Amino acid sequence: MQPPTRRFLATVVALALALLPALAFSPAALAREPPIAYGFPPPPLHGVVIALDPGHNGGNAAHASEIAKLVWIGTMWKPCNKVGTTTPSGYTEHAFTFDVAKRLKADLEALGATVYMTRTTDTGVGPCIDVRGRFGASVFAAIEVSIHGDGAASSAHGFFVMKPGLVRGWTDDIYDSSARLATAMRDGLVAGGLSIANYYATDGLKTRTDLGTLNWSNVPVVEIEMGNMKNAGDAARMASTTGRAKYAAGLVLGIRRYMGK
């Protein structure tokens, strides 16, 4: 048998070299490779769990005795829940908080976050403020954001963020981080074009030791009065879909600011 010619050997070597790159893309090689090496970084809030608490509930008004039941909040006894306020034309706080929370949930999920809400309908009763406060830790959330609307004098307008004060044995673990969260949420809402309250709070921030949702939390928590439903300008914004989308967008900016993402 004739030995292979030089030309034949050269062809075999060239073919082997040409096939080498294909080996790098074999199923086994692809399985080893982390996705980020292919230029698809995860979305900014990937892996972040967030708890949202839309204040009040649509069924509360019809269950007065149930929501009046007192619960201990570390500093005092408070009603389990309340009906909430309304705009002069009757748009309710519970509808407002639920809609803003749903919009915020969708916005955060689009950024990769996992979001849980203390209530998933606007027709139920409660839950009580102690349950709302414990909710964040129960779903292993990084933070909990409680959404409300205020019912103050008609001249008062703008949002403010309430953070837990130091209550020994209750908020020791979350009071520093909650203060940082409150500042980030305030700054995010301002960046989103929303105005700081012209009443009650200082620079849009207020410390409270009498709120069950804050005292019971074991994750950084804030409760935000997004606007005053008794003020004509705030009420118009709160009752409109574009206004509620603007509130949700501002809350996203605040959450991203706190997360550094």
List residues near Zn ion by CB under 5 A: 55, 84, 148
E-state strands within the chain: 49-54, 70-72, 77-79, 114-117, 143-150, 160-164, 205-208, 221-228
CB 149, min distance to Zn ion, A: 6
Active site residues: 225
Exposure of 143 in the CB half-sphere (CA atoms within 13 A): 28
Query: In sequence order, what DSSP letters do the residues of 40-80 get, joined into one string?
Result: -PPPTTTT-EEEEEE-S-TTSTT-HHHHHSEEE-SSSEEES
Q: How far is the CB of 74 from Zn ion (least distance, A)?
A: 20
61 vs 229: CA distance, rounded Å: 18
Of 178, 243, 188, 190, whose CA–CA distance to 215 is shortest? 178
Nearer residue to Zn ion within complex by CB, 57 or 114: 57
Q: With contact defined as beta carbons under 8 Å apart, do 229 and 86 qualify?
A: yes
- Which residues, 6+ apart, have CB-to-CB distance to 36 below 8 Å? 42
Among residues 4 and 79, whose Cβ is nearest to Zn ion? 79
Nearer to Zn ion, 224 or 253 (CB): 224
Residue nearest to Zn ion (CB): 148
Q: How far is CA 55 from CA 1, 11, 26, 121, 157, in A?
A: 90, 75, 53, 12, 19
Q: Which is nearer to Zn ion, 84 or 126 (CB)?
A: 84
Q: How far is the CB of 148 from Zn ion (least distance, A)?
A: 3
Distance in Å, CB of 259 to Zn ion, minimum: 25
| End-to-end C-alpha distance for the chain, whole angstroms | 70
CA distance 249 to 237: 14
Residue closer to Zn ion by CB (options 206, 261) is 206
Closest approach of Zn ion to the CB of residue 106, in Å: 22
